[in-house]
Amino acid sequence: MSAMAMTTSLRATRSLRTGPVACGLRRFSDYIEIARKMKDTPYNPAVEGEVKCPDYVGWDAAVDADFHKLQTGPWKKGGRPYEQICDSALDLVGFTPMVRMSRLAKHLEVDCEILGKCEFFNAGGSVKDRIGKRMIEEAEKSGRIKKGDILIEPTSGNTGIGLCMAAAIKGYRMIICLPMKMSGEKVNTMKTLGAEIIRTPTEAAWNALDSHIYLSARLAKELNGHVLDQYKNAGNPLAHYEGTAEEIIEQTGGKLDYMVMSAGTGGTVTGCALKLKEKIPGIKIVAVDPYGSILAAPDSMNDKSVRTGAGVGTQYQVEGIGYDFIPTVIDKRAIDYWVKTDDDESFAM
Strand order of the β-sheet with 226-227 is 196-200, 173-179, 150-154, 226-227
* Alpha carbon distance 63, 330 (integer Å): 9
Other CB atoms within a 10 A radius of the CB of residue 323 amount to 23
Angle, nearest 10°, between helix axes 158-170 and 184-192?
10
- Residue 254 to residues 108, 178, 232, 247, 282, Cα–Cα distance (Å): 24, 38, 30, 10, 11
Whether the Cβ atoms of residue 278 and residue 310 lie closer than 8 Å to each other: no
List the helix and strand counts (H, then E) for the chain.
Answer: 11, 11
Question: What are the residue numbers of the active site?
Answer: 128
Dihedral of CA 228/231/233/237: which sign? positive
Total length of the chain: 349
